[in-house]
Amino acid sequence: MKITIQDIAPGEEEEIIVRCRELDEALLRMIHGLKTRRGKFTVADNDKIRQIDAVDIYYFEAVDNKVFLYLEKDVFETRYKLYAIEDEYANTDFFRASKSVIINLAKVKQFAPDFGGRFEAQMRNGERLIISRQYVPALKKRLGM
Amino acid sequence: MKESIKKRVIELLLTFCMVTTGSVFVCAVYNRVFWSGDTFLDAAILWQLLAMAFVCSLGNFIHPYREVSRRREVFNKGLHYVYINVVVLGCGYGFGWMDIENIFMLAAMMLGILVVFVTVSFVIWRLHERETENLNRKLREYQQAAGCASEQ
């Protein structure tokens, strides 16, 4: 595969064009990976506005109609809705684990069995999140089982 | 077939097979202890055991497919156990497997229920653990392919 990198003028928008005969799984994965790596979330950090890289996010959680994003140690409220994040980041490392949680599969250390056919996702920062049994088939599909 | 329905049907069949096997063992021991001697078992007991195992398996539906809290899950497990006791003791009384006034028969039946319940739960848990091992293997492959295994 030929890779061409072109310099662009300052201020010009960066662009990636994929020229291919067929969008196979490897290419799709690369595109989704790029999307995650370049994705950013705007959050309010006290009185400041801060941009969080999607790759740094461990998980999103909806609590009382508010959505929080969790980093390794910090937590921020975000204005994004869970369903919107799920749609925007479909087929990336972000995965809907339950009604109220979206996890970043890249930040999962391992899975553990839990009651009633559920699984527990043990995150790399030590947190534990439940994967509801109704989302287990999707998880297996995502991991290629 | 929808994935969730397919999964539930498979779970139901798996539970039915395990409960039937457990019931045959308990039945054999029970007969040896309480109905030993020249007792000749009616062939109808085979159908009765299958019917009882099937009704017991229906108890799987106590656990909803939708999301519930851990506390609710534990409560459902307790409810499931009570349901099985009611079904088996009901069948025991209805089919004449036990003399209800014989406290030892009743206790043995309840012990049998406990043994089968714990065994089936253990087997299901082991299968779940094996499924978890496969998930972890696939997760490692996924993370390596995505180049994020070396992140942390």
Highest mean predicted confidence (pLDDT) among A21-25, B3-7, B30-34: B30-34
What is the spatial distance between Cα B72 and Cα A18, in angstroms, rounded to a whole number?
A: 49
| pLDDT above 70 coverage of chain A, percent | 94
Give me the residue from B67, B74, B136 closest to A99, CB to CB: B67
Residues A117, B128: C-beta atoms closer than 8 Å: yes
Let me know how long chain B is. 152
Q: Which tokens hold the place of A18?
A: 């994929």
- Give the residue ranges of DSSP H helices in A7-117: 25-38, 82-88
Token digits for B143? 């993370």
Query: Where do the H-state alpha helices sit in B35-151?
Result: 44-57, 70-94, 103-146
% of chain B surpassing 90 pLDDT: 42
CA B55 vs CA A80, B58, B69, B83: distances in Å: 47, 5, 26, 10
Contact A98 B67 (CB under 8 A): yes
Instruction: Give the integer Cα–Cα distance in Å for B144 and A35.
Output: 18
pLDDT at residue B148 is higher than 70: no
Distance CA A56, CA B9 (A): 40
Residue B55 tokens read as 């009704």
| Interface touch B128/A29, C-beta < 8 Å | no
Question: Across all residues in chain A, what is the average pLDDT?
Answer: 86
Instruction: Average the pLDDT over B62-76 and give the result.
Output: 84
Phi/psi for B29 (5° steps) reads -65, -45
The closest of B42, B36, B18, B40 to B116, measured between CA atoms, is B18
pLDDT for the residue B150? 41
Q: Which of B17, B44, B48 is nearest to B116 (CA)?
A: B17
ipTM score over 0.85, yes or no: no
CA distances from A21 to A14, A32, A63, A110 (A): 23, 18, 44, 37
How confident is the model over A61-83, as a mean pLDDT? 91
* Average pLDDT of the residues in B11-29: 90
d(C-alpha B60, C-alpha B66), whole Å = 13
Tell which of B1, B80, B142 to mutate to test the A interface (max A CBs under 10 Å): B142
Mean pLDDT for B87-104 is 88
User: At residue B127, does pLDDT exceed 80?
Assistant: yes
Which of B73, B134, B139 lies closest to A116 in CB terms?
A: B73
- Residue B33's pLDDT band, with cuts at 50, 70 and 90, is confident
- φ, ψ of residue A94 to 5 degrees: the values are -80, 135
Count, residues in chain A: 145
Distance from CA of A110 to the nearest CA of B (A): 6
Chain A CA closest to residue B60? A116
Determine the Cα–Cα distance for residues A4 and B41; give it in Å rounded to an integer.
Answer: 82
